[in-house]
Structure 1
Amino acid sequence: MPLFNAFGFTDEQKLMRQSLLALAEQHLPVEKIRQLDRDAGWPTEAYQALAKGGWLGLPYPEEYGGLGGSYKDMAILLETLSYHYACLGTTYMTSAIYAGLQLLYNGSEHLKQTYMVPMIKGDIYIAFALTEPQTGSDAASIKTNAVRDGDDYVIRGQKWFITSAHVADYIVLVVKTDPSAKPAHDGFSMFLVDAKAKGVSIRPIETMGRHTTHTNQIFFDEVRVPARNLIGEQNRGWKILMRGLNLERMAIAACGAGNAQKAIDIARDYATQRIQFDRPISKFQVISHKLADMRIKAEIARLVTYRTAEMMDAGYDTRMETAIAKVVATDNDFECAHIGMQVMGGAGFSMEHDMQRLFRDSRLGPIGGGSNEIQRNIIAKLMGL
């Protein structure tokens, strides 16, 4: 059992974590994870098990078949899934959080009943597409556009680094509907697009890590989308996008906290079993201090994540706190994997052990979801600097 404790959890939250960990271990055993990482596979069985257990509905109201969970519940779920396998947490939050909650918060009743409810049941998967080849950190400069044509919009453009788009049935797509808007983000809109529609083509991007939920580029060539698939109001997409991105940072922090704890467990188990100079290497202070440093970093990641989630549940403006949590948790996650590699030496560098995968997977954290440099810009601006 991992070292992270359950202080401050309700009995229901403690049971939730135990149930999720048991589900993940049953439907995604270690050998299956290694196979998916090698083959760039997707955890279909585990995802469907989450759907069958009702977990995809955790953040959704009961009236739509959800569980009405809190932000702290979401943090517990994502930390637990990512402790088992980082990409399992990402698989969950891409559809159920990034994309699906845009439909809940801003979609019409038609979109909710036709797409969101089936998503909660696990019948469809929805990806989220914002980033473009020339617009990563500078999201306001996107070029993909939609033009009204009768009862449809016609979409042209390209998206880049889109997680799990290769398995998506639909895509929540951020586009520009008013290219002359000043400032530029006043011309943004969101649409739900059929990933199999004519003119949509999806190509994988080969990356260092995150092979299971690998990223993709998407091309939109004269793609026709019904006007009823507009999410929210035309040209008001930026404001509703910001609410989603704020939640995304907390979610990424929770995933980082879980992955960091897994790195500790792997390194600790290795260090207590590896014998050098007639004793386990964990008995050498230089190694035990590295493990202690990992524990400190993982615990700090957890503390800042749960504090932020509790503030969100209390209705606070958490723009600064989510940015801080994202920076701290993802930086600490990578540092834990980095230290863990050093503790294990050549074994950590070997593909026969899992530490190299955690190292590769954790490196995305400080880059994706708004780089940690951008998060620091947000923090500085909110400080009045």
Structure 2
Amino acid sequence: MEFELPSEHRMTREMVREFCDEEIAPIAQEIEEEHRFPAEIFDALADLDMLGVPISEDYGGLGGDQLLYALVTEELGRVSGSIGLSFAAHVSLASKPIELFGTDAQKERWLTPLAEGEYLGSWALTEPSSGSDASDMDTIAERDDDGYVLNGTKQFITNASVAGSILLKAVTDPGAGYDGISTFIVDPENDDGFSVSTEWEKMGLNASPTCEITFDDCWIPEDRLLGSEGEGWKQTKKTLQGGRVSIAALSTGLAQGAFEAAREYATEREQFGQSISKFDAVRDMIVEMDRKIERSRLLTHKAATMYDDGQDVTRISSMAKLDASETSREVAEDAVQVLGGYGYTTDFAPQRFYRDAKLMEIGEGTSEIQRLVLGRELGL
């Protein structure tokens, strides 16, 4: 029996599932091979009011909760990791912080077009030398009359080459450590001194652009500061709590897609006069996939529900992200094994899920960092 969801959540999930099966699934492998960002899919998602799922209706969003957002993210990941990743980065990282920390004027100017799907957003934290210590950054924002001058480089930034706005983390007080980091809204179309220096070729997720961006004496007005100076790291920690729920949901979707491909193949493929699903080794592998996915889904839904209730989700969001990301990789790998030689070909989906799943254990805090967070939460 499935965990009971509110009726509006079920209806939205079914609508998105139908859209994914009809519009995304037929092109999922094609856009990966072409390394093509599918702008038309995001236009269609905007028409469905999906690009601002957890954003207030006052600013063009759907007014949904984190659980609804997790359901939508999972459905997208079930057919395309790339589309799911760009969607999650747009909502959790590029849009939600403006709602949480922005002024009314900033929400009207920058959040509304994001939520309505006029364009996608991006979030720039990681730097070439920062690694897992994202607070160790060299990008500087210096006061200049009624604005700031930005200089530095950001690495592995999702959506940067297709974004209409970017939330940038930069140092405003070099001697203040965590308290010296601030957040700025960058307009990539109109801010001189901003450029996309690299768009990475990757192991997977190649229909979602991952970029290196640079700032060379890029001046922005002071009204682009999100919140107050020095609040950037506190904002980041809050943002990542929701972001980890979305990556858990995306990971669960990837695993579900790989599982469905393996189950379908196993019930149709015959050897020795019967479907291979009747053989213990194959059956047990598929049963284990289902068990792991259900566990990850329940953890994700618990984290989303606690987030909606206003609880501290540091522990549960890290646990959900850790569990679901590892589930996605394990299930995808087993799906390739179920299909055998066919699983290694691009004619079948498991190889794509396998390649896509690996990033889930790296992005928004590696599995090792999640264990560190969980250990701290347990007082270890």
TM-score, with normalisation over the residues of structure 1?
0.96
- Kindly indicate whether residue 256 of structure 2 is the aligned counterpart of residue 261 of structure 1: yes
Alignment counterpart, residue 337 of structure 2, candidates 339, 342, 354:
342
Structure 2: which 5+ runs fail to align? none
**Is the contact made by 1:153 and 1:224 (CA closer than 8 Å) also made in structure 2?**
yes
SS in structure 1 of the partner of residue 135 of structure 2:
helix
Other-structure match for 2:20:
24
- The code of the aligned residue for 2:13 comes to R
Query: How do 1:193-272 and structure 2 match up within 5 A?
Result: 193-196=186-189, 197-202=191-196, 203-272=198-267
Q: CA deviation at 1:329?
A: 0.3
Q: CA–CA distance in 1 between the matches of 2:310 and 2:214?
A: 38
User: What do residues 93-144 of structure 1 show as CA deviations (whole Å, max 9, x unaligned)?
Assistant: 2112211111111112221111110111111221001000111210111111
SS in structure 2 of the partner of residue 201 of structure 1:
strand
- The code of the aligned residue for 1:231 comes to L
Deviates more, 1:65-74 or 1:113-122: 65-74
User: What do residues 308-357 of structure 1 show as CA deviations (whole Å, max 9, x unaligned)?
Assistant: 11112222211000000000000001000011111111111112211110
Q: 1:52 to 1:6 in 2, by over 3 A?
A: farther
Other-structure match for 1:85:
80
Query: How do 1:1-385 and structure 2 match up within 5 A?
Result: 6-30=2-26, 32-181=27-176, 184-196=177-189, 197-202=191-196, 203-385=198-380
Q: CA–CA distance in 2 between the matches of 1:29 and 1:39?
A: 15
Q: CA–CA distance in 1 between the matches of 2:297 and 2:25?
A: 25
**Is the contact made by 2:52 and 2:117 (CA closer than 8 Å) also made in structure 1?**
no
**Is the contact made by 1:36 and 1:43 (CA closer than 8 Å) also made in structure 2?**
yes
**Is the contact made by 2:76 and 2:83 (CA closer than 8 Å) also made in structure 1?**
yes
Count of aligned pairs? 378
Q: 1:84 to 1:351 in 2, by over 3 A?
A: closer
**Is the contact made by 2:318 and 2:370 (CA closer than 8 Å) also made in structure 1?**
yes
SS in structure 2 of the partner of residue 195 of structure 1:
coil
Q: CA–CA distance in 2 between the matches of 1:23 and 1:346?
A: 30
Q: CA–CA distance in 2 between the matches of 1:126 and 1:103?
A: 11
**Is the contact made by 2:60 and 2:113 (CA closer than 8 Å) also made in structure 1?**
no
Q: CA–CA distance in 1 between the matches of 2:379 and 2:34?
A: 48
Q: CA–CA distance in 2 between the matches of 1:351 and 1:50?
A: 26
Q: CA–CA distance in 2 between the matches of 1:233 and 1:142?
A: 18
What is the RMSD computed on CA atoms of the aligned residues? 1.2
Q: CA–CA distance in 2 between the matches of 1:367 and 1:56?
A: 24
SS in structure 2 of the partner of residue 119 of structure 1:
helix
Q: CA deviation at 1:201?
A: 1.7
- The code of the aligned residue for 2:194 comes to V
Q: CA–CA distance in 2 between the matches of 1:342 and 1:34?
A: 19
TM-score, with normalisation over the residues of structure 2?
0.97
Identity of aligned residues (%): 35
Deviates more, 1:136-145 or 1:321-330: 136-145
**Is the contact made by 1:24 and 1:46 (CA closer than 8 Å) also made in structure 2?**
no
Q: CA–CA distance in 2 between the matches of 1:48 and 1:65?
A: 15
- The code of the aligned residue for 2:341 comes to G
Q: CA deviation at 1:214?
A: 2.9
Q: CA–CA distance in 2 between the matches of 1:162 and 1:237?
A: 17
Q: CA–CA distance in 2 between the matches of 1:27 and 1:269?
A: 20
Q: CA deviation at 1:26?
A: 3.2
**Is the contact made by 1:28 and 1:43 (CA closer than 8 Å) also made in structure 2?**
no
- The code of the aligned residue for 1:13 comes to H
Q: CA deviation at 1:60?
A: 1.3
Q: CA–CA distance in 2 between the matches of 1:41 and 1:129?
A: 21
Q: CA–CA distance in 2 between the matches of 1:207 and 1:67?
A: 33
- The code of the aligned residue for 1:16 comes to T
Q: CA deviation at 1:6?
A: 4.5
Q: CA deviation at 1:297?
A: 0.9
SS in structure 2 of the partner of residue 55 of structure 1:
coil
**Is the contact made by 2:25 and 2:79 (CA closer than 8 Å) also made in structure 1?**
no
**Is the contact made by 1:259 and 1:333 (CA closer than 8 Å) also made in structure 2?**
yes
- The code of the aligned residue for 1:14 comes to R
